[in-house]
Amino acid sequence: MKIVINVQQDAFNTEVEQARLTEGRSDIGAIVSFTGWVRDFNERPDVSALTLEHFPGMTEKALHVIAREAGERWALQGATIIHRVGRLEPGDAIVLVMTASAHRRAAFEACDFIMDYLKTRAPFWKKEHTDSGSYWVSERQSDREAASRWEHS
């Protein structure tokens, strides 16, 4: 299984990443992708920016483990995870997850799994900036609950 992991400040191009994932392959029948965007609201309604921090090396390793685990659960030909760091503004793309498989169901489920585990296992820290100040974003119980559904499946 081909795994591509990038943690970067630069914007990504979904079409370029899909072409990279499928290059030279004729065994891929489905690609599912998820792109997450920075919203102008979250814990407060006036988010003007988001700063993401991570531990270089450790973060990439954690993302690789998540992608590899998805490949062990589903028959995947490839997975791409790109996560941006640094200061981002509402409307900026923040994360891209792509999964490639011979069949759609495996690609859908693996993409969902990767996002759930990325939200709960990858070492990223988010600080939201608003007109009234900045604050670190708290972990969400809903993210933990979403990831827990994979523990027994």
Residue type (1 letter), 140: R
Over residues 52-59, the mean pLDDT reads 95
* Mean pLDDT, rounded, of the chain: 94
Q: The domain containing residue 28 runs over which residues?
A: 2-141
The residue-averaged pLDDT of 43-57 equals 90
Burial class of 11 by CB neighbour count within 10 A (0 to 12, 13 to 18, 19+): exposed
Q: Is residue 64 part of a domain?
A: yes
Residue 136's CATH number: 3.90.1170.40
Q: Is residue 150 part of a domain?
A: no
Q: Using an 8 Å Cβ cutoff, are 9 and 82 in contact? A: no
Residue 8 lies in a domain: yes
Query: According to the model, what pLDDT value does residue 43 have?
Result: 72
Residue 146 within a domain? no
Concatenated DSSP letters of 69-90: HHHHHS-EEEEEEEEE-EEE-T
In a domain, 92, yes or no: yes
Domain count across the chain: 1
Is 149 part of any domain? no
The reported pLDDT for the residue numbered 146 is 83
**How much is the average pLDDT of 44-59?**
92
Q: pLDDT digit string (tens) for 17-42?
A: 999 999 999 999 999 999 999 988 87
- Position 37 scores a pLDDT of 96
pTM for this structure?
0.94
For 70-84, write each residue's pLDDT tens digit: 999 999 999 999 999
Mean pLDDT on 100-106 = 97
Pairing assessment for the beta strands 47-54 and 86-88 based on DSSP bridges = antiparallel
Give me the residue label for tokens 């900026």. 92
pLDDT band, very low/low/confident/very high, at 153 (cuts 50, 70, 90): low
Asked if residue 60 lies in contact with residue 7, where contact means CB atoms within 8 angstroms, the answer is yes
Quickly count: other Cβ atoms within 10 Å of residue 80's Cβ: 24
Does the pLDDT of residue 152 top 80, yes or no?
no
Does residue 66 fall inside a structural domain?
A: yes
pLDDT at 93 over 80: yes
